[in-house]
Amino acid sequence: MFNRNILIRVGIMIKKYRLELEVANNNLKPSPSWAYLLYATMIENIKTEYVEYLHEDGLNPINQYVHIPDRNCPNKIEWNINLLGNEAISQVEPFLMKIENIRLKKFDTDITVTNRVITCTTTEADILNTYLTTGNAFKNMRIDFLSATSFKSNEKYVLFPSVDLILKSAVSKWNAFSSSYALDDEEALQQMIDRTRIYQYALRSNSFMLKQARIPGFRGYIKLYSTGPDPMVRLINLLFGFLEYSGVGIKTTLGMGGCKVTLEGE
């Protein structure tokens, strides 16, 4: 499945950012769907040529979502942005590091940036080396879906996650990103699907408003267990771990599919 002695020395950079925001109008109740409005503000403030590139087919190198950490303080929200690749970082980071106020015309309110932090800087090489060579293999895994998440299958939205949809989403996103390690073995992918199961979950339906459309989805968490051999488990760990950067499922650039992945035991 892969060379256990591989040591990747080059790779693409990834940065994760968290902007803490405060909404001026205390009567408003922010929603994770606001991520779409914040994304619209972002692309208004970067080069037109790069925006045109973002609208082309393929993996968008921007994954972002809104998280409301404390429901008792709904006017304080977190905007999480992941930039995949040096070009995305060079084009978008200046905006993220200088923006102080955002005007949301739709809700006639201002948002102030109260804090900003780069929460992670890594590379494709770091990810590959950690998961495939130097780190442990974890058979127990947990995925927390932090913003509304959905998949599409047979032109229909899927309201419950499955191992095959998650892994196929992860493989697709990884292959669109990686410059050195493509995963194109269909038989190996099917083996990973067959040897991994969801054994616990706490999910609820949760829709995402996109312009005038309501996209059905879910939030919550799932726990998974793999019975595969060490090389297979390592590869699954890599794919699931990468979802923290790329998002999972559909419309991750617009605010859906934000997630946290925890590897819970060998």
pLDDT digits (tens, 9 = 90+) for 205-234: 999 998 889 999 999 999 999 998 999 999
Structure tokens at 182: 């493509």
Residues 225 and 98 sit within 8 Å (Cβ to Cβ)? no
Residue recorded with tokens 């990686």? 178
Question: Could you give the count of Cα atoms lying within 13 Å of 254 in the half-sphere of its Cβ?
Answer: 14
pLDDT at 8: 38
Core vs surface per residue 44-75: b (16+ CB within 10 A) or e: eebeeeeeeebeeeebbbbbbbbebeeeeeeb
The total number of residues written for the chain in this structure: 266
pLDDT in tens, the chain (266 residues): 333 333 334 468 999 999 999 999 888 888 999 999 999 999 999 999 999 888 876 778 999 999 988 877 778 999 999 999 999 999 999 999 999 999 998 888 999 999 999 999 999 999 999 999 888 899 999 999 999 999 998 889 998 999 999 999 999 999 988 888 889 899 999 999 999 999 999 999 999 998 889 999 999 999 999 998 999 999 999 999 999 999 999 999 999 999 999 998 65
Residue recorded with tokens 């996103």? 173
